[in-house]
Structure 1
Amino acid sequence: MSETPKDLNPLSRAAELLHHRGRALSKGEPIALPITTSSMFHLPGDPADSPAYGRVDNPTWEALEDALSILEDAPCVALPSGMAAISAALFASLGAGKRLLVPSDGYYVTRVLSSEFLAGFGVSVTERPTASIAEGGFADFDVVFIETPSNPGLDLCDLPAICGQVRAAGGITIVDNTTMTPFGQRPLDLGADIVVASDTKAPGGHSDLLMGHVATRDPAWLARVKDWRKMSGCIPSPHAAWALYRGLETLELRFSRMCDSAAVIAPVLAAHPAVRSARFPGLPSDPSHNLAAAQMERFGFLIGLDLGTEARAEQFINTSNFLRPATSFGGVHSSAERRARWGDDVSAGYVRLSVGCEPVDVLMQDLVDSLGRLED
């Protein structure tokens, strides 16, 4: 395929993604991406430079990786889930005697992977809260894993400053950009060495697939991640890769709608008397607002609400007509869950609200109505 221009703005990248593959088609070839499910390829003679085996090569993955690379402005490796992407990046960059710093308030499965598996292989694991992750410096850390905004608390940290400090100390940064996508935040442009993301969320968008990816501009790290995928067998399904490719074609449109709606809804919910406190980087009163305005393209579609008690949180979620009570986020359907049920360090009444693609006035009225029904 042809080279993607390196100076594209986000909207130009959205357009480029839609037509990049099409420019290389021959007459009569399908415009829609085909699904290639073969585990074997016709391979007479010298196997060099040809697809060889389904654990290593797949044209559907490769088309997806081309599309992801347009959005990230970096080579990408597709993996079968967000945690597969995180695992690939961590296992490719760590080993016995290495030191890893992870956020204590980030996605809990990353912490479990680090403490129960990486630590067992001789990796020293340290945890710090996202908002104060730079306190204590980064000397002797080989890998600093960052999640900003944190999931689910929506705290931020200064990406350019931290990435620069980690590099000066001799380490690398891996940034989980799941909550923001490349349309909301661009960690590689801010100094990160590696980006990981769960494409199960907004990139897929329809709550019907599991996928993830790793992006990096460093050829050595890219090769390590590809080798890890090949040797571990942690490969994506061609069907899931095809579904994600289709989802990426509408990501810019959906993400814009979701962020626009969240920006309208957040101040209304924050001011509601039933809400004890609210977190949304787009609120001028949010402690992360200034930092978000400096390093994020959009403020995102996630809103944190503290409704005081478990009962009130569950009532709010379950009595709303336009909220699906479900884990995960980023789908076209608005969803919410009480995150303390998974052991996250948040209050019992904390709700992570994922704003979807419903008409904003209808959704907002439904949420306000649900808040109005809460019992003291």
Structure 2
Amino acid sequence: MAPKPGEMLHLRGNALNAGDPVALPLTQSSMYHLPGATDGLATYGRVDNPTWVQLEHMLSHLEDAPCLSFPSGMAAISAALFATVQAGSRLLIPSDGYYVTRLLSDRFLSRLGVEVEERATTSFAEGGFEGFDVVFVESPSNPGLDMIDLAAVAEQVRATGGVTIADNTTLTPLGQRPLDLGIDVVVSSDTKAMGGHSDLLMGHVASRNTQIMEQVEEWRRVSGAIPGPHEAWLLHRGLETLDVRYDRMCASAQVLAERLATHSAVRLVRYPGLPGDPAHALAQAQTKRFGFLLSLTLDNEDMAEAFINGCPLLRPATSFGGVHSSAERRARWGDDVDPGFIRLSVGCEPVEELWQAIEASLNAL
């Protein structure tokens, strides 16, 4: 079920008592007053925090599923994987998805007896899923923006007895709903659009599978991979404007993608909202919005760097999803992309002002 943003804004407010603060209080404490029996009480800062409770209440509303928060997107991915794999498990991951997921799998899980295999997003379903205990998908892929048929993968993996995990960072619960499509577990880096202001590191795990969520909670509690209260408070505040920010960002990305596709300096544009994009048909069927990320490829590395650094309304920075539009040449991090490939994250600037700055920088090449 799609979340109702207006209802989300009043989740806490409708439960307030007279005189309670409307804004969420920040509980910054590692200890709790515990005279006598401790049943049902907050006990220790690694286990309980009232600010987390309110944040996870809002996240659960967005996902329409139980949620747990984590101190980064990779902490959320780690929790989901450690809760679902064990020695002897076979894990399938995208070869062209977020590279740190591959590093975690190759350098750590494989050393613990997990067999890791990789497939490209565009051919992910080829070969089937028989024998895989966990299948991790990312759609759209980061940074290539290729897509996977999530419902088909979920159905096929479930039929073979496996578990599916989907990284939904790029589209958020407002743009795509993997759990509604049959995916077992969703992970997200809330550092990106969910927080939206480039001032925190956070992530979350969501699932309607009670057993998996119990294992995720135990991993968080025992490993100590807990969010800080202040970061949880910041994310809660960021989520209150997610609907407004996300709508602006997606609408602007569509405008920019269409104009970039006709500019003479641009060799290739990838955006699921373009009718000619390889992911367009699947995006139409599977997503609620086409997202705020797009890519453009220029002729070479020097042109790409000159374009990014010459545009005053683009921040040359890694990560994405903030109110400030940002761009980076992904080959510098080792992604298997063209040297002139640029990932562009569209922010909340007025779209005409943003386009004028982008166009001027392209024209100056």
Per the TM alignment, residue 49 of structure 1 is displaced from its structure 2 partner at its CA by 1.0
Q: CA separation in 2, counterparts of 1:134 and 1:217?
A: 24
Which residue of the partner structure matches residue 304 of structure 1? 295
Aligned residue number for residue 332 of structure 2: 341
1:227 match: secondary structure? helix
Equivalence for 2:204: 213
Quick one: which of 66, 86, 109 aligns to 1:118?
109
Tell me what 1:181 maps to: 172
Instruction: Tell me the amino acid that sits aligned with residue 302 of structure 1.
Output: L
Letter in 2 for 1:341: R
Aligned to 1:22: 13
SS at match of 1:20: coil
Query: 2:65 aligned with 1:74, yes or no?
Result: yes
SS at the partner of 2:83? Answer: helix
CA shift for structure 1 position 38: 1.1
Aligned amino acid, residue 180 of structure 2: D
Residue in structure 1 matched with residue 27 of structure 2 by the alignment: 36
CA distance, structure 2, for counterparts of residue 44 and residue 192 of structure 1: 44
Per the TM alignment, residue 296 of structure 1 is displaced from its structure 2 partner at its CA by: 0.3
Give the corresponding residue for 1:204.
Answer: 195
* 3-state SS in 1 of match to 2:10: helix
* Pair 1:194 & 2:177 matched: no
Supply the distance in 2 between the matched residues of 1:325 and 1:232 (Cα, whole angstroms): 34
Q: Which residue of 1 aligns with 2:158?
A: 167
Query: 2:50 aligned to 59, 69, 88, which one?
Result: 59
- The percentage of aligned residue pairs carrying the same residue is 65
Distance in 1 between the 2:87 and 2:241 partners? 42
Q: Distance in 2 between matches of 1:102 and 1:164?
A: 17
Alignment of 1:221-260 (within 5 A): 221-260=212-251
Q: Does structure 1 residue 282 correspond to structure 2 residue 273?
A: yes
> What SS is found at the alignment partner of 2:146?
coil
Query: For each residue in 1:235-266, what CA deviation from the matched residue of structure 2 results, as whole angstroms up to 9, or x when unmatched?
Result: 00000000000000000000000000001110
Gaps of 5+ in 2: none
Structure 2 distance, partners of 1:256, 1:184, is 10
Structure 1 residue 18 displacement after superposition: 0.7
Separation (CA, whole Å) in 2 of partners of 1:96 and 1:218: 22
Q: Give how far 1:25 is off.
A: 1.1
Q: How many Å apart are 1:220 and its aligned residue?
A: 0.5
Aligned-partner Cα distance in 2 for 1:249–1:131: 35
Deviation at 1:373, TM superposition (A): 1.2
Distance 1:78 1:85 in 2: 7
Aligned partner of 1:94 in structure 2 is 85
Which residue does 2:143 correspond to in 1? Answer: 152
Q: Work out whether 1:321 is the aligned partner of 2:312.
A: yes
Comparing 243-252 and 32-41, the one that deviates more: 32-41
Q: Deviations over 1:260-282 (max 9, x none)?
A: 00011101001111111110000
TM-score, L = length of structure 2: 0.99
CA-CA distance at 1:312 after TM superposition: 0.7
- CA drift at 1:17: 1.2
> Of the candidates 338, 345, 360, which is equivalent to residue 354 of structure 1?
345
One-letter code aligned to 2:124 = I
2: CA distance, partners of 1:296 / 1:151? 16
1:132-151 correspondence to structure 2 within 5 Å:
132-151=123-142
For residues 56-105 of structure 1, what are the alpha-carbon distances to aligned partners after superposition, in whole Å with 9 as ceiling and x for unaligned?
00000010000000000001000000000000000111111001000000
Which whole-Å CA distance do the structure 2 matches of 1:119 and 1:48 have between them? 40
Inter-partner Cα distance in structure 2 for 1:81 and 1:308: 35
Cα distance in 1 between the residues matched to 2:231 and 2:237 = 10
Aligned residues: 365
Task: Tell me how far apart the structure 2 counterparts of residues 273 and 305 of structure 1 sit (CA, whole Å).
Answer: 12
